[in-house]
Amino acid sequence: MRQAALAAAIGLLAACYPGGAETLSDLDTVTTQHDPRADYASIQTYALPSSIEVTPSPYGHPLTIDHSNDTAILATVAANLDKLGWHQVDPATVTPDVNVMVAVTATRYREYVSYPFFTWYPGWTGFTGYDETWGVYYPYGGGYPTVIDAGSLRIDMLDTRAPNATTKQLTAIWTASLNGVIGGSTQSMLDRINAGIDQAFAQSPYL
């Protein structure tokens, strides 16, 4: 179901552009969520790890992730946090107001589908005796008509000012999710990710 949903989502995104998506960036999405009860105005400091963590996806086949751009991506995150007037601190010496975590997932999805051959070739004599209720059955599992390589970059802002000792939880007060189809050069991927990070902060004026 997840694979079908992803394929459908890509199709819907492509449909938003006349003639279909023209570049991979047309398929990128940026989603942000936040806790409206959080006191963002009082945040002054943040801590940011020096690496991007990999989170596995329960669906599809995990892809090897290139970490060569981690420093550049984290620098973009830090630059946007600095623009808010916040200051990065070393959590080993100073307790920050928020911890900002960055994680990535890269997955290959394979969608195995039957297609409605009657509606694809209506009236063809080779399908005489069949109608639109018929499809195609594949008894073998080696073929996947649709293959999508998709990646997600997630940024979580955790409030360290009020840890819940009872539930042993920190509250996430802001989350940004950058999702898109993986492809193009390394520089192109970096440009798209950095643009997505900038967009995530731009659409979050409450920070």
Residue from 203, 145, 195, 135 nearest 175 by CA: 203
Q: What is the pLDDT of residue 142?
A: 53
2-202: which CATH number, 3.30.160, 3.40.50, 1.20.120, 3.30.70? 3.30.160
DSSP 70-124: HHHHHHHHHHHHHHTT-EE--TTTS--SEEEEEEEEEEEEEE-----HHHHSTT-
pLDDT tens, the chain, 207 aa long: 344 444 444 443 444 444 444 454 556 899 999 999 999 999 999 999 999 998 887 777 888 888 899 999 999 999 999 999 999 999 999 999 999 999 998 888 777 666 667 676 777 777 788 887 887 776 765 556 677 778 889 999 999 998 999 999 999 999 999 988 777 678 888 999 999 999 999 999 999
- Residue 29 CB partners (closer than 8 Å, separation 6+): 13, 178, 179, 180
Return the pLDDT at 189: 85
Q: What is the pLDDT of residue 21?
A: 46
Handedness of CA 8, 179, 24, 141 (dihedral sign): negative
pTM above 0.85, yes or no: no
Taking each continuous run of H as one helix and of E as one strand, the counts in the chain are: 4, 8
